[in-house]
Structure 1
Amino acid sequence: MKENLVSLLILDLALIIALAKAAGRLARALGQPPVIGEIVAGLLLGPTLFGGALSGTLVPVEVRPYLGALADVGLVLFMFAVGLEFDFERLRGSGRMAGAAVAGAALVPFALGLGLGWYLLRTYEPPHRTAFLLFIGVAVSVTAFPVLARILSDRGMNGTWLGSVALSTAAVCDLAAWSMLAGIQALAGASGHQWRVLLVVPYAAVLFLLVRPLLGRYLAGEGAAGSQPAGTFTLVLVGALVSAGVTQWIGLHFVMGAFLFGLVVPRREKTSAVREELLQRTQHMTVLLLPVYFVVAGFKVDLSDIGADGLVQLAAIFLVAVTGKFAGTWFAARSSGMSPRGSAVLACLMNTRGLTELIALGIGMEAGLLDQRLYSLFVVMAVATTAMTGPVLRLLTGRGDQELELDFIVPPPRRSVESPAPARRTVLARSEPPRTRW
């Protein structure tokens, strides 16, 4: 790399981090998660404004491949942290309510998304129609687990019954979405290499049956020693990078491998302290690298010439995404005994998409299932649905000075006819924000 390119890369990296930080603070001041501001800042640096003159001046074309490499590393770290933070115990405590919500929040929008895909086929000819239809179904049914955790924390709903149901539902939706994306990418993959995808099954078996026990013993020893040296983080980080590289070679996106390795890290009590330290260190690194991904993603978004037909398609995408998530979740929650108001709050939370949607869209674009125009429309939908969550949530719940009160009817235990169970009010007290920043 020439010296002037090194200088430009360093200056652009500093500019991106500074803009992301400023945009994140502005978004928080407006009652939005910081990630909204960071994504919008990335979009503003793209070709939408001034025909790309601004982005071409601030971030020259010759620097972008290096920024793309940094963005990929940040994405690996982010997905590893998402897998590392995934709590399987939460799934056991939310019961049938979360199970019903998952069915409504995932299956209903997915089915409507298939119809949306047929509509989009009028003006778009993807190389693989079946993979395209399935991808559109996944794209409108995604829920961003990390962003949702941030919103619940800001609203004082973290650790409450409804918060647990929402996080459990989002976690299962995320698992289902990544599994579907893996299959879709394999379906749309280049001929001659699709056989490699079959290796993901033995690879996952090796991770969970061999790597997980060995890693558990090592981390338990580190936890017993009372310290978490840098060597532990280096070992786990190398494992995440290797796993990402393996899945990329197999034919799946590298985010699958990073996420999978995060899931492999043991969740036992003896390793909890080490796991917390690993998560904090990983998130510190993503603070520097993840904003680069937003800028790289923004380079692919061009809304300057979408035209009237594009606006109609955007309206259709937005309608299907919002209606499918809201209606599916609301009816599922109501059928399980939640109050109408509580069901509406849960449905609103499930419309959060954020960075998870951007990653999914990036996978679709790399697989050739989306062109720049359609990618841009879905990015707008992702930002809009995430940004609307906070305001709609405030309308549904209100905000008190000391606590947040919601009239949620929790399904009561079975009682005799002589002693009917009264409906009870659940008061959701505010709690301290969790460690996640996404």
Structure 2
Amino acid sequence: MTESQAVHLFLGLAVILGLARAMGALARRFGQPAVIGEILTGVLLGPTLFGSQLSGAVFPAEVRPLLNALAGVGVALFMFVVGSELDLGILRGGGRATLWTSLLSTLLPLVLGAALALTLVSSHHEGSSVGFVLFFSVAMSVTAFPVLARIIADRKLANTRIGATALACAAITDLLAWTLLAVVVAIATGERFDWWLTLLVPYVALMVTVVRPLLRRAARTVSEDEQGGRAGNRNFLALVLGGLLVSAAFTEWLGLHYIFGAFLFGAVLPRGTDGTLRDGVLQRVEPLCGLLLLPVYFVLSGLKVDLSRLNASDLGQLAAILVVAVTGKFVGAYVGARIGGLDGRHAAALGALLNTRGLTELVVLGVGLELGLLDAKLYSLMVVMAVTTTALTGPLLSRILPAPTAGAASAGTSTPPEPRTVPARKADATETASR
């Protein structure tokens, strides 16, 4: 790294940190997740308002690869956090409402997304349309579990049936979406499925049957070693970080994407007694990830968004994308919840909650742009969709479940046992969950 690169890198990081914090705080003052302000930071610095002059001066081309590397580490850590917070134990007692809501809130966006993709493929993609249609469908079906957990905690819905059902549905949807995205990436990169299955399936089995028990044994050794103290905890943290980096490297080498390896390693991380093991790791990982590395990713994502040259046709496509995104999730969740036995108001609340997309959508879109499945213009339109649907969640939920009755959101319905995933830690102890 040259002297000039070092100067611009450190100054650029300082700009990102300051503006992201300020815009995140501004977003929260308007009742929005911090991610909204942080994404807008990148958009405002990008070509939409100032062309390439401002972004070129603050983040010159020679520094972009260094920032991209930091952003990649941040996304890997974020996916590790998402995987570690995926607790299938919350599915217990979910019943018909969880099953039908998860199924239809995933299936309907997939179908509507595929139909819309067929009308967009000729103007936004060259070559085989299969990968494009499949990717676009998956991008429409995403729900951001971390943002959803933060909203539920902020509105004190965690111990209500509606809150528990929403968390369970988001967990299932996320798991399905990442699995489908892995398949799409394999198709788009030309990887043969026999090669993919030959290595990936045994790798997943190895992680579950070997790596997870080894991590649990290592954690038990640390907790039982009263003389280990802080050094023992740091050694375990180093083991976890090293493991997730190796896992990310393996899936990248396999031809998928490093986010899947990071997510998988987080998913197999044992919780320990009362969740203290997982929380101890996350409380060390999340601050650096949320304060600096993820804002770098936001800014770089925003710098790729150019809305200055949109014409009437592009605005029409944006409107269609928004209609399909909102309608697919809302109607799918509403119908599924009604079939599952929820009344109309709480079914509508589920539809609003599951429409939030947050950083999860940005990660998916980043993969699509990197693989050439999205061009720059369609990527910009999809980022607008991600920001808009996330921003709409709070106001819609306030109208459906006004503040005086939100605490009684489970009125008229049975309340299941408190879910094992405790959103309070995400809401109060971290900011990564607001993404």
TM-score of the aligned structures, taking structure 2 as reference length: 0.92
Identity %: 49
Structure 1 residue 66 and structure 2 residue 66: aligned? yes
The answer for the alignment partner of 1:162 in structure 2 is 162
Shift of 1:124: 2.7
Q: Please list, as runs of the form range in 1=range in 2, the aligned pairs for 1:119-268 lying within 5 A after superposition.
A: 119-190=119-190, 195-196=195-196, 198-225=198-225, 227=229, 229-268=233-272
Any idea what SS the aligned residue of 2:341 has? coil
Q: Deviations over 1:381-438 (max 9, x none)?
A: 00000001011111111113x973336542699xxxxxxxxxxxxxxxx978354422
Q: Please list, as runs of the form range in 1=range in 2, the aligned pairs for 1:27-426 lying within 5 A after superposition.
A: 27-190=27-190, 195-196=195-196, 198-225=198-225, 227=229, 229-269=233-273, 272-286=275-289, 287-400=291-404, 404-406=407-409, 408-410=411-413
Shift of 1:169: 0.4
- Which consecutive unaligned segments of at least 5 residues does structure 2 have? 417-422
Q: Deviations over 1:229-265 (max 9, x none)?
A: 2111111001001100000000111000000000111
Shift of 1:160: 2.3
> Larger helix proportion, structure 1 or 2?
2
The answer for the alignment partner of 1:423 in structure 2 is none
Q: 2:195 corresponds to which letter in structure 1?
A: W
| CA distance in structure 1 between the aligned counterparts of 2:168 and 2:192, rounded to whole angstroms | 38
Any idea what SS the aligned residue of 1:222 has? helix
Count of equivalent residues = 420
Relative contact order (alpha carbons < 8 A, sep ≥ 6): 1 or 2 greater? Answer: 2
| CA distance in structure 1 between the aligned counterparts of 2:300 and 2:197, rounded to whole angstroms | 28
The answer for the alignment partner of 1:426 in structure 2 is none
- Which consecutive unaligned segments of at least 5 residues does structure 1 have? 414-429
| CA distance in structure 1 between the aligned counterparts of 2:156 and 2:276, rounded to whole angstroms | 25
- 2:84–2:269 Cα contact (<8 Å) kept: yes
- 1:336–1:411 Cα contact (<8 Å) kept: no
- 1:338–1:408 Cα contact (<8 Å) kept: no
TM-score of the aligned structures, taking structure 1 as reference length: 0.91
Deviates more, 1:44-53 or 1:322-331: 44-53
Q: Deviations over 1:47-88 (max 9, x none)?
A: 111212221122112111100000000011111011111112
CA-atom RMSD in angstroms? 2.1
Q: 2:51 corresponds to which letter in structure 1?
A: G
Shift of 1:196: 4.8
Alpha-carbon distance change, 159 to 404 in structure 1, aligned in 2, over 3 angstroms: closer
Shift of 1:40: 1.0
Any idea what SS the aligned residue of 2:157 has? coil
| CA distance in structure 1 between the aligned counterparts of 2:428 and 2:23, rounded to whole angstroms | 21
- 2:186–2:193 Cα contact (<8 Å) kept: no
Alpha-carbon distance change, 28 to 218 in structure 1, aligned in 2, over 3 angstroms: same
- 1:42–1:298 Cα contact (<8 Å) kept: yes
Q: 2:159 corresponds to which letter in structure 1?
A: G
| CA distance in structure 2 between the aligned counterparts of 1:195 and 1:300, rounded to whole angstroms | 33
Q: Deviations over 1:309-338 (max 9, x none)?
A: 110110110000100111110011011110
| CA distance in structure 1 between the aligned counterparts of 2:407 and 2:297, rounded to whole angstroms | 35
| CA distance in structure 2 between the aligned counterparts of 1:194 and 1:289, rounded to whole angstroms | 36
- 1:361–1:378 Cα contact (<8 Å) kept: yes
Alpha-carbon distance change, 269 to 431 in structure 1, aligned in 2, over 3 angstroms: closer
Q: 2:292 corresponds to which letter in structure 1?
A: L
